């Protein structure tokens, strides 16, 4: 299990590079993403590689919770289709304190193309929470966090709260 990287780490602002499927790195990354997503404080429904300090294009999703029939780790994912419909929901992130929530507008449906750990390509249509989760994790792979979706006033408020937490020794 890896340690979760927290904001304001520069790793969270990094545009990640592709993973070589089938490599020992890919297999290690898959194990780490799975273990960390389900352990301890994490217990999220998604986790991207930069959140565990690895700047490669991969993320894990809790496919059992989301009732999806696909691999639970997406390597080199890309959105290949999206619906025009959007919704706005509050999102939290494992790289931020639990109290930080940002209202984020996302597409309601997306089609994602990725490959599994061995390089087998797959495509999946994602709707609702599953689409939101994948888009959130793909944002991480592109160096974006929920804070990038916040308005200026909201962002300043959140940064103030994070600064107080850091000063008090909490992350």
Burial class (CB in 10 A: 0-12, 13-18, 19+), 130: buried
Q: Which residue is associated with the tokens 């103030």? A: 160
> Which one from 82, 137, 154, 161 is the annotated catalytic residue?
137
- Sorted by sequence, the CB contacts under 8 Å of residue 137 that are 6+ apart come out as 46, 47, 48, 59, 61, 74, 77
Q: Is 78 labeled as catalytic in the residue annotation?
A: no
**Residues forming the active site:** 137
């Amino acid at each position: 299990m890896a340690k979760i990287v927290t904001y304001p780490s520069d790793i969270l602002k990094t545009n990640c590079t592709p993973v070589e499927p089938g490599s020992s790195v890919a297999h290690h990354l898959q194990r780490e993403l799975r273990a960390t997503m389900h352990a301890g404080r994490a217990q999220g429904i998604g986790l991207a590689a930069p959140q565990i300090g690895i700047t490669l294009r991969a993320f894990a999703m809790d496919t059992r919770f989301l009732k999806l029939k696909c691999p639970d780790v997406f390597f080199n994912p890309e959105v290949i289709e999206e619906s025009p419909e959007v919704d706005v929901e509050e999102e939290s992130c494992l790289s931020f304190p639990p109290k930080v929530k940002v209202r984020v507008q996302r597409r309601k449906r997306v089609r994602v193309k990725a490959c599994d750990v061995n390089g087998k390509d797959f495509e999946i249509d994602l709707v609702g929470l599953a689409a939101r989760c994948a888009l959130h994790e793909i944002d991480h792979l592109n160096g974006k966090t929920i804070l990038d979706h916040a308005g200026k006033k909201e962002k300043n408020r959140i940064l103030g709260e994070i600064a107080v937490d850091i000063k008090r020794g909490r992350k």
